Amino acid sequence: MEKIKRPAIFLDRDGVLIVERDFLVDPDDVEFYPETIEALAAVKNDYMKIVISNQSGIARGYFSSEDVERVNSEISRMLGDKGIFIDAWFFCPHGPGDGCSCRKPRPGMILEAAERLNIDLEKSWIIGDKSSDIEAGKASGIKTIMVNTGYGGSEPGASKVDPHYTASNIGDAIEYINRSST
């Protein structure tokens, strides 16, 4: 019997869930946007919540994979204290010039998650604050939302992208997904 595929909301970490701090290494510096908790609590139960994040600070020698995992664990703990759980975490440890398939704008993390977690990409979304998030979403065939928090699509070297929707923040993005999936 084939397992039923579930849709997912792919979430960039820095600039979407938490305040952008270039090369965040200290879990004590994690700061949620004011609307993050309420927005994640409002995600419909049929959606998996998956965080995908470029972490080139590893390749640059600024911090280790273990440091990234400590920050992710702290975010998970803080969300768990509010009854919110992330289904999976993926991060790319490579630098911009490494040519890997997982670094956004390439769709590697999304495609790996889809295969491992039986995700229905046609019904899935990505919420990001960089053009690379939107490009990765489009390359994997999912719907895209650019938020105006974090870099808001104006990062250095940003590509001109046309997301399915532009939201003021993660709360606005989740409201849009909920309205669109009724």
Give the domain 8-180 fold.
Answer: Rossmann fold (3.40.50)
Q: Is the pLDDT of residue 2 over 80?
A: no
How confident is the model at residue 182, as a pLDDT?
64
C-alpha distances in Å from residue 90, one per residue of 44, 52, 148, 174 = 21, 5, 23, 20
Task: Give the H/E segment covering residue 114.
Answer: helix 108-117
Residue 18 predicted with pLDDT over 80: yes
Band (pLDDT 50/70/90 cuts) for residue 173 is very high
- Single-letter residue type at 26: D
Per-residue pLDDT, 3: 80
| pLDDT tens, position by position, 117-136 | 999 999 999 999 999 999 99
pLDDT of residue 181: 82
Three-class DSSP category at 75: helix
**What is the pTM for the complete model shown?**
0.96
Instruction: Tell how strand 165-167 and strand 143-147 pair up.
Output: parallel
Are 14 and 21 in contact by the 8 Å Cβ rule? The answer is yes
Whole-angstrom distance, CA of residue 38 vs CA of residue 31: 14
| β-strand pairing of 125-128 with 143-147 | parallel
Eight-state DSSP code of residue 41: H
120 a catalytic residue: no
Q: Say whether 14 is catalytic.
A: yes
- In this prediction, residue 110 carries a pLDDT of 98
Give residue-wise pLDDT tens across range 36-72: 999 999 999 999 999 999 999 999 999 999 999 999 9
Q: What is the pLDDT of residue 122?
A: 97
Average pLDDT taken over every residue of the chain: 96
Q: What angle do CA 22, 102, 106 make, to 5 degrees?
A: 90
Question: Is residue 24's pLDDT more than 80?
Answer: yes
Structure tokens belonging to residue 24: 């965040």
CB atoms within 10 A of CB 157: 8
Element (H, E) at 128: strand 125-128
| Catalytic annotation, pick one of 14, 129, 133, 172 | 14
Rg (C-alpha) for the chain, rounded Å, is 15
Q: Is the pLDDT at 1 greater than 80, yes or no?
A: no
Q: Which two tokens stand for residue 155?
A: 């990062």
In the numeric block, which tokens belong to residue 126? 């990505």
* Domain residue limits, the chain: 8-180
